[in-house]
């Protein structure tokens, strides 16, 4: 599944392989690890992430569930409270709505409700995002629906090395983590992944490219496109700093604020709808803490406020922001 | 299209204005809202923004000349709206430069020719330059003591960017501050009365005094002179002084000053504490907040406190309205804003009107006692002198090192006698000595 690099300290993987390798390691290292979800067993997940796991670890640990998301999460909550380390999969983020109560009403509140007597050490993995002609039911971004909820951690790594390090952190965490995997990056993005077990802490953004004239904050697929746009602008002599948020909640306020205090301008780019999105929280946080460093209004380049991403290519393209549009938004704000 | 610009009315009670300085000359181009002339009245100097974009065709009033509001002072050849993006082809539109005489038929409805011009004359200049100023620009300009209006903007639509401020700051204080002072110099000398070596317009008002020459009076200087003579002539001044122990209030101020400056951007001096005590004492001695009129002593309803601020070339006394309704913090901010405006020469008529009593912070240069002249139409003026550490014999005969400050009061003896005045001073002393670090700002 993966090609070893020459020095054997790291391996080049795509994001699917990084998820698969990390899950495999968790199953191997800890008998309490359980994977449950639709088609995770016999089918090996629709992206073949858990292919053949059921043969090696058995149907007690790799559990094919009915098409009932509330049950998938609800059962995982019970397992987690009683000592297992479940990794629940929602086949596509678009299907997570029936599980909303189990996630928000149960998992996120377990520690608080039991005054710390019970915790809920579970991971909910789900592929999200558009750009793959997934239409209404296979394109949605769900982070804003959940990031309002204290007690729930949400991460959306964009690079294979981050996927592995942060999935390990999610699995080790004693509280529920919503682990978002952008499906268009699954096979598109490849990168070196260190061998062996390691973790990347939540709440740490990654400055992918340093710059002086504008701070761009993004996550997921768009981080790659924002980086591409920023590199194009570098050739035009425009210096843009690109920050990969990685962890949506907890959010790394310090890295964002330090950057904005340097560049004095902020552009937040995300695929999710603009209204009430992650960009709204980042904007408010920056306005609250760094107003007197801002030399331009904060700008957001986000998905439009329409109910879903259409199947027709022009509709999908209209919803998504291209690297070209990102570059133009950056130019405009630098010029301001 | 020619637009005739008239002398704006810089305040409700103002009927005339003096052209202090032409900031643009005939032939210069001027942008809409760009200041093109500085006008002074007996109360205020203001840069007047152009209501149109165009070229100055004619200047109708010389520097130093005083004319009634509404009198035409200049004619601007307006660049047509369509021409703004392409000036060249538009030239024929105003090519028939139909000689100076054509300013008579006022083609454009001059917004500045009546009362409506007031707001734009005073406000628009400042507002248009500041409207686009981002929080970062404002902060950086304040930190570097720069006037945003004196900085050339390179951003969208000429917006001053944070980098522009830093560039201006890096050019050194002399370059930019000099420019700022020049543009805000209270009044350029009136040329006619200074046949000999009139300082070039745009330089600071007095520059180096040259022995053996007459420095022509600026409008501001003339007004100050008239007011002082008037007050001394009509109001019999009496004088008294108390020594106040400000050790505790000084400690309080020291404890709060860093946080205060960080939170508000203004320095916390002893002034707001003193003003707070003064307004409380005025409440206890309402006659001190009155004035002498032919009909009797008028006791003011509001407590509007003037603060005397000495500038290099003149004195201004902006007023904190309803000062008795402000906390020490509120007073500090209000005073900070007025001092800031005064230094930038941006006080408006409304900032200067309506004072009922005056405080003069006189101690900055070490003055230990002074006999101030009452601001006309008020009952008194009280000073803060320098704070000095002294050995003080206390009530229990112990000797302690205390921070002491004299406060001097000049009073209009027509309004009150020594009995009330000394009671007022004793009350003021008591209130300040009671203030200490346990209070809230």
ipTM: 0.75
Distances in Å between the alpha carbon of B263 and those of B258, B325, B333? 9, 21, 11
Beta-carbon pairs below 8 A across chains A and B: 28
Lateral strand order in the sheet of A85-89: A62-64, A33-37, A85-89, A123-128, A177-182, A153-155, A247-249
DSSP E strand boundaries for chain A:
3-4, 10-14, 33-37, 62-64, 85-89, 123-128, 153-155, 177-182, 190-194, 206-209, 214-218, 240-244, 247-249, 266-273, 299-303
In B144-270, alpha helices (H): 162-170, 173-184, 219-234, 247-264
Angle, nearest 10°, between helix axes B418-434 and B247-264? 70
CA-wise closest residue to B350 among B154, B150, B135, B119: B119
Does residue B98 have a pLDDT over 70?
no
Among B136, B159, B163, the residue with its CB nearest the CB of A294 is: B136
Q: How far apart are CA B19 and CA B40, in angstroms?
A: 6
State whether B162 and A292 contact (CB < 8 Å): no
Two structure tokens written together for A275 = 């209204």
Q: How far apart are CA A325 and CA B155, in angstroms?
A: 21
Query: Which is higher by pLDDT, A56 or B222?
Result: A56
Does residue B85 have a pLDDT over 60?
no
Interface residue A295 vs chain B (CB under 8 A): yes
**Tell me, what DSSP letter sits at residue A287?**
H
Angle at A220 between CA A214 and CA A223, to 5 degrees: 30
Two structure tokens written together for A17 = 């392989």
Q: What is the pLDDT of residue B131?
A: 59
Least confident piece of the model among A291-300, B274-283, B358-367, B421-430:
B358-367
Q: How far apart are CA A223 and CA A207, in angstroms?
A: 11
Lateral strand order in the sheet of A206-209: A206-209, A240-244, A214-218, A266-273, A299-303
State whether B134 and A335 contact (CB < 8 Å): no
CA-wise closest residue to A155 among A99, A103, A200: A200
Percent of chain B with pLDDT over 90: 39
Q: What is the pLDDT of residue B232?
A: 93
Backbone angles phi, psi at B105, to 5 degrees: -70, 105
Q: How far is A330 from chain B (nearest CA, A)?
A: 14
Query: How confident is the model over A146-163, as pLDDT tens digits?
Result: 999 999 999 999 999 999
Predicted model pTM: 0.54
Query: How confident is the model over B116-141, as pLDDT tens digits?
Result: 333 333 334 444 545 578 999 988 88
Interface residue A264 vs chain B (CB under 8 A): yes
Scanning every residue of chain A, which has its alpha carbon at the shortest distance from the alpha carbon of B164? A295
DSSP string spanning B120-155? IIIIIHHHHHHHT--HHHHHHHHHTT--GGGS---S
pLDDT class of B352 with cuts at 50, 70, 90? confident
Query: How confident is the model over B64-78, as pLDDT tens digits?
Result: 888 888 888 998 888
Scanning every residue of chain A, which has its alpha carbon at the shortest distance from the alpha carbon of B157? A336
Q: Mean of the pLDDT values across residues A286-314?
A: 95
Query: Which residue matches tokens 């002498």?
Result: B292
A273, A303 Cβ separation under 8 angstroms? yes
B395 CB-near residues (< 8 Å, 6+ apart): none
Query: How confident is the model over B182-208, as pLDDT tens digits?
Result: 333 333 333 333 333 333 333 334 556
Two structure tokens written together for A148 = 């309002």
Does residue B405 have a pLDDT over 90?
yes
CA dihedral B182, B185, B191, B194 (to 10 degrees): -100
State whether B137 and A291 contact (CB < 8 Å): no
Task: List the single best residue of B131, B133, B140, B162 to mutate versus A (max A Cβ within 10 A).
Answer: B162
- Quick check: is A182 catalytic? no
**Tell me, what DSSP letter sits at residue A94?**
G
CA-wise closest residue to B44 among B348, B320, B343: B348
Q: How far apart are CA B395 and CA B294, in angstroms?
A: 46
Residue A7's CB: how many other CB atoms inside 10 A? Answer: 7
Query: Which is higher by pLDDT, B223 or B193?
Result: B223
Q: Mean of the pLDDT values across residues A304-328?
A: 95
Q: How far is A259 from chain B (nearest CA, A)?
A: 14
* Cβ neighbours of A296 in B, within 8 Å: 134
Two structure tokens written together for B119 = 């707001």
Scanning every residue of chain A, which has its alpha carbon at the shortest distance from the alpha carbon of B153? A336
Scanning every residue of chain A, which has its alpha carbon at the shortest distance from the alpha carbon of B142? A292
Distances in Å between the alpha carbon of A238 and those of A186, A263, A295, B151, B410? 31, 12, 16, 23, 64
pLDDT class of B94 with cuts at 50, 70, 90? very low
Q: Mean of the pLDDT values across residues B43-50?
A: 79
Q: How far apart are CA B12 and CA B377, in angstroms?
A: 19
Scanning every residue of chain B, which has its alpha carbon at the shortest distance from the alpha carbon of A212? B163
Alpha carbon of residue B58 to chain centroid: 30
Percent of chain B with pLDDT over 70: 79
Among B136, B156, B163, the residue with its CB nearest the CB of A292 is: B136
Among A292, A296, A336, the residue with its CB nearest the CB of B139 is: A292
DSSP string spanning A172-235? H-SS-EEEEEETTHHHH-EEEEESS-----TT--EEEE--SSEEEEE-THHHHHHHHHHHHHHH
State whether A295 and B161 contact (CB < 8 Å): yes
B382, B428 Cβ separation under 8 angstroms? yes
Q: How far is B132 from chain A (nearest CA, A)?
A: 9
Least confident piece of the model among A103-107, A221-225, B108-112:
B108-112
State whether A294 and B138 contact (CB < 8 Å): no
B96 CB-near residues (< 8 Å, 6+ apart): none
* Cβ neighbours of B162 in A, within 8 Å: 264, 295
State whether B162 and A291 contact (CB < 8 Å): no
Q: Mean of the pLDDT values across residues A230-236?
A: 96
């Amino acid at each position: 599944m993966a090609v070893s690099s020459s020095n054997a300290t790291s391996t080049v993987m795509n994001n699917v392989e990084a998820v698969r390798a990390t899950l495999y390691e968790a199953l191997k290292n800890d008998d309490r690890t359980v994977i449950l979800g639709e088609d995770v067993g016999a089918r090996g997940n629709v992206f073949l992430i858990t292919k053949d796991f059921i043969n090696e670890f058995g149907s007690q640990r790799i559990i094919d569930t009915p098409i009932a998301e509330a049950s998938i999460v609800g059962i995982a909550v019970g397992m987690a409270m009683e000592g297992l380390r479940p990794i629940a999969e929602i086949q596509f983020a678009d299907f997570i709505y029936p599980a909303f109560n189990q996630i928000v009403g149960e998992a996120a509140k377990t520690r608080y409700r039991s005054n710390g007597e019970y915790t809920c050490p579970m991971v909910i993995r789900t592929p999200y995002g558009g750009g793959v002609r997934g239409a209404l039911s296979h394109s949605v971004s769900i982070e804003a629906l959940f990031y309002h909820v204290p007690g729930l951690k949400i991460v959306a790594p964009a690079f294979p090395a981050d996927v592995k390090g942060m999935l390990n952190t999610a699995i080790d965490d004693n509280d529920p983590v919503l682990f978002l995997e952008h499906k268009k990056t699954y096979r598109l993005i490849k990168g070196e992944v260190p061998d062996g077990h390691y973790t990347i802490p939540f709440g740490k953004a990654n400055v992918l490219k340093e710059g002086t004239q504008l701070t761009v904050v993004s996550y997921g697929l768009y981080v790659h496109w924002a980086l591409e746009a920023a590199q194009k602008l570098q050739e035009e002599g425009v210096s843009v700093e690109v920050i990969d948020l990685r962890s949506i909640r907890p959010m790394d306020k310090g890295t964002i604020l330090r950057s904005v205090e340097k560049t004095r301008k902020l552009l937040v780019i995300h695929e999710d709808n603009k209204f009430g999105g992650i960009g709204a929280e980042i904007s408010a946080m920056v306005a609250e803490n760094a107003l007197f460093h801002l030399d331009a209004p904060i700008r957001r380049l986000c998905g439009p406020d329409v109910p879903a991403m259409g199947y027709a290519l022009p509709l999908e393209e209209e919803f998504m922001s291209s690297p070209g549009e990102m570059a133009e938004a950056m130019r405009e704000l630098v010029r301001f | 299209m020619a637009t005739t610009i008239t002398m704006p009315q810089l305040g409700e009670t103002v009927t005339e204005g003096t052209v202090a300085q032409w900031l643009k000359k005939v032939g210069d181009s001027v942008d809409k809202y760009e200041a093109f002339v500085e006008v002074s009245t007996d109360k205020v100097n203001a840069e007047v923004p152009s209501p149109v974009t165009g070229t100055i065709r004619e200047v109708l009033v010389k520097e130093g000349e005083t004319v009634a509001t509404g009198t035409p002072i200049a004619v601007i050849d307006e660049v047509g709206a369509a021409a703004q993006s392409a000036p060249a082809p538009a030239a024929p539109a105003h090519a028939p430069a139909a000689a100076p005489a054509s300013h008579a038929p006022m083609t454009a409805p001059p917004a500045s020719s009546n009362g409506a011009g007031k707001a734009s004359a005073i406000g628009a200049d400042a507002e248009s330059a500041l409207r686009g100023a981002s929080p970062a620009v404002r902060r950086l300009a304040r930190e570097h003591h720069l006037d945003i209006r004196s900085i050339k903007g390179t951003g969208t639509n000429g917006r001053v960017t944070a980098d522009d401020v830093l560039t201006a700051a890096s050019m050194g204080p002399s370059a930019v501050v000099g420019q700022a002072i020049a543009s805000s110099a209270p009044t350029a000398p009136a040329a006619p009365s200074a046949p000999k070596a009139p300082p070039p317009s745009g330089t600071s008002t007095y520059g180096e005094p040259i022995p053996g020459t007459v420095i022509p009076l600026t409008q501001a200087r003339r007004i100050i002179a008239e007011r002082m003579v008037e007050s001394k002539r009509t109001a019999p001044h009496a004088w008294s002084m108390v020594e106040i122990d400000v050790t505790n209030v000084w400690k309080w101020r020291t404890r709060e000053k860093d946080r205060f400056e960080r939170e508000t951007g203004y320095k916390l001096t002893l002034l707001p504490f003193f003003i707070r005590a003064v307004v409380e004492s005025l409440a206890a001695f309402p006659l001190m907040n009155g004035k002498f009129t032919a009909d009797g002593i008028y006791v003011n309803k509001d407590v509007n406190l003037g603060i005397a601020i000495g500038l290099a070339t003149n004195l201004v006394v902006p007023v904190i309205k309803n000062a008795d309704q402000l906390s020490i913090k509120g007073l500090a901010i209000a005073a900070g804003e007025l001092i800031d405006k005064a230094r930038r020469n941006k006080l408006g008529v409304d900032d200067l009107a309506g004072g009922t009593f005056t405080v003069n912070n006189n101690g900055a240069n070490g003055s230990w006692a002074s006999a101030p002249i009452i601001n006309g139409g008020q009952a008194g003026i009280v000073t803060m002198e320098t704070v000095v550490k002294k050995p003080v014999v206390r009530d229990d005969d112990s000797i302690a090192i205390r921070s002491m400050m004299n406060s001097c009061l000049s009073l209009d003896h027509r309004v009150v006698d020594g009995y009330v005045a000394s009671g007022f001073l004793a009350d003021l002393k008591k209130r300040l000595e009671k203030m200490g670090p346990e209070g809230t700002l």
